[in-house]
């Protein structure tokens, strides 16, 4: 069935790089997304990658896609305290409309 898995927690030191990993199951996914959720807020779209791409870079964010292994990662360079949040990976699944399946989220804690 459709499933997206992420590790639940990541702790990094301010200034280091963070790498959040995700695995998904639907090989027909056309887009894969990363969302960020800060306390008391909704989900903010961070970036997304089309399935025929291997990598996408957007300022401090780098997304890597290994389609063979169905593995997606989000790298945050020079991690700041403002990056502390929950990060959700999501895949599109076929179904006639833009249906997303979300992972449980990875809580990123940035410490001095």
What is the binding site for another protein (CB under 8 A)? 4, 30-31, 33, 35, 40-45, 48, 88, 92, 95-100, 102-105
> In terms of CB distance, is 96 or 112 closer to another protein?
96
Shortest distance in whole angstroms from residue 104 CB to another protein: 5
Phi, psi at 109, each rounded to 5°: -110, 125
CA 81 remoteness from chain centre = 18
Quick check: 48 and 33 in contact, CB under 8 A?
Answer: yes
Among 112, 110, 95, 108, which residue's Cα sits nearest to residue 21? Answer: 108
82-104 core/surface letters (b: 16 or more CB in 10 A; e: else): ebbbbbbbbbbbeeeeeebbebe
Shortest distance in whole angstroms from residue 16 CB to another protein: 27
Shortest distance in whole angstroms from residue 59 CB to another protein: 18
> In terms of CB distance, is 49 or 76 closer to another protein?
49
Shortest distance in whole angstroms from residue 37 CB to another protein: 9
> In terms of CB distance, is 28 or 59 closer to another protein?
28
């Amino acid at each position: 069935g459709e499933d997206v898995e992420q590790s639940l927690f990541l702790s990094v030191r301010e200034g280091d790089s963070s790498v959040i990993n995700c695995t998904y199951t639907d090989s027909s996914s056309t887009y894969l997304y990363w969302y960020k959720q800060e306390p008391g807020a909704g989900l903010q779209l961070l970036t997304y990658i089309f399935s025929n791409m291997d990598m996408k870079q957007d300022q401090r964010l780098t997304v890597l896609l290994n389609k063979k292994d169905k593995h997606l990662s989000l790298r945050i360079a020079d991690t700041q305290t403002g990056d502390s949040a929950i990060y959700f990976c999501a895949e599109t699944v076929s179904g006639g409309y833009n249906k997303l399946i979300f992972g449980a989220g990875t809580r990123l804690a940035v410490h001095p």
